[in-house]
Every structure is written in structure tokens, then in C-alpha cells.
Amino acid sequence: MIRHVVLFTWTEDMTSELEQQFAAELRALAPTLPGVRSYQAGPDAGLVEGNFDFAVVADFDDADSYLRYRDNAAHRDIINRYSGPRTKARAAVQYEV
């Protein structure tokens, strides 16, 4: 199994409404894709100052499932509309679980 973790820090252009729409669209897409075992996405809870603003944690059956998700046209569209133009910093990792 492959776990994908990505963290975002937003520019000032990201509103809480856009952030919620981003999370909702990602969560709605995930169950439509083969090989996605679990998928969580949402804003930081604000418990520690200096954290990233948003996280995605997803589990995939295997590397091919992750790559299909990464390259999926609907996923790329969501990224291009929400996070692409509003990301100040991004960190990501994929690892075997």
C-alpha cells in the first residue's frame, strides 16, 4: 500500500470558502478512482502556530493506483482551479505502508 501525504501553505488569495470547496471536490473524486483505499483532505485545525494550512492524506493499493490518481484529468483540473494558483509552499511524500 502507498500512502500519499501533501501539505500546503496558501497565498492570501485562498479563502476559507475556496479551501472548503477544494477539500469537498477532492473527497468527492477519490471514491470514483480505482485503487483508492482511504482519502482525507482538509484545513489545519489551528492548534499549533506555524503549521501548514491544509493537508491531504490518502492510501492507495499500490504505486500504479497512486500514479493514476496523480495524473487523472479530473484531479489535475481540481488542482489547477484551487491549489495551483494559491500555493505559497507545498511538501509531499509517498511511502509504503
Q: Which CATH number fits the domain that encloses residue 33?
A: 3.30.70.100
pLDDT of residue 81: 97
Which range marks the domain in which residue 67 is found?
2-96
DSSP 48-86: STT--SEEEEEEESSHHHHHHHHH-HHHHHHHHHTTGGG
DSSP SS3 for 20: helix
pLDDT for the residue numbered 17 = 97
Contact 82, 21 (CB under 8 A): yes
Give 49-65 pLDDT, tens digit per residue: 999 999 999 999 999 99
- What domain count does the chain have? 1
Of the pLDDT bands very low, low, confident and very high (cuts 50, 70, 90), residue 30 is very high
User: Could you tell me the pTM of the whole model?
Assistant: 0.94
